[in-house]
Amino acid sequence: MSSLISIVGAGPGDPELLTVKALKRIQEADCILHDALVSDEIMNLSRPGAQRVYVGKLYQDGQDQTDRQEWINQLIIELAGKGQKVVRLKSGDPMIFGRGAEEIRFCIENNLNYEVIPGVTSALGAASLYGIPLTERGKNSMVLFGTGHYCEGDFCDLESFVSVLNSGSPVIFFMGLNKLVKLANRLMDHAVSPEIKVQILSKVSQPDATTFESTLGNIEQLMANEKPPMPALVIIGKNAKKLR
């Protein structure tokens, strides 16, 4: 087929954080299938006449995620059959909690011409924008990405979170804000210090970005008083402090 399916990372929101290649594909696209968190500023970079189709999801929006993905896959097939240049535009990076693997497999199984273009994930963007070292010589040599999802009644990978935090390295939680109080309590139940630092970074790189700093033991009070907006990233760690 002459069509090209570009699975593109849009970064955390600021259009200036797009890669050059991502910008080129957005400007060339006949159709953009975009997620909920892709900013209007980025969408407005598309060429006049390009079709835009919202295929995103939001927290508790009631969508069946299997049905949604099957619908997206069908759109990709239909557009590819018309020889169109399609951009599947995802916030952050397609391969970090972005379901990029599912869509890559679909393209392979259906012999579609595809490519994957990396994006700046919100975790790395936040660390650089706010001066929060994720690794630092003499302090820690690893970082763990996780989610606030449950598995069999408790947080997935809870033991790994505890082990990494107690080693002095940070854990970054995507999609965990709504369960943050419960997560803090479970970490402290497993002997993580209540004095460990917590950074809540809302709407990273966007004009209305806000940040909140606390300790694990004070999270419940902060959440009650401040109510940080979604989408938000949570960084927990002994050395999770802003340098500026």
Which of 21, 24, 40, 57 is the catalytic position? 57
Q: Which of 218, 211, 205, 216 lies closest to 129 in space, CA to CA?
A: 205
Residue from 14, 30, 35, 93 carrying the catalytic annotation: 35
Strand ranges of the sheet holding 144-147, from the earlier edge strand across to the other edge: 144-147, 171-174, 232-237, 197-202, 210-215
Mapping DSSP onto H, E and C, the string for 183-201 reads: HHHHHHHCCCCCCCEEEEE
24 is catalytic: no
Measured distance CA(134)–CA(138) in Å, rounded: 12
Catalytic site residue 35?
A: yes
CB within 8 Å of 187: residues ≥ 6 apart: 158, 161, 162, 165, 216, 236
Cα-flanking dihedrals φ and ψ of residue 214, to 5°?
Answer: -155, -170
Catalytic residue numbers? 35, 57
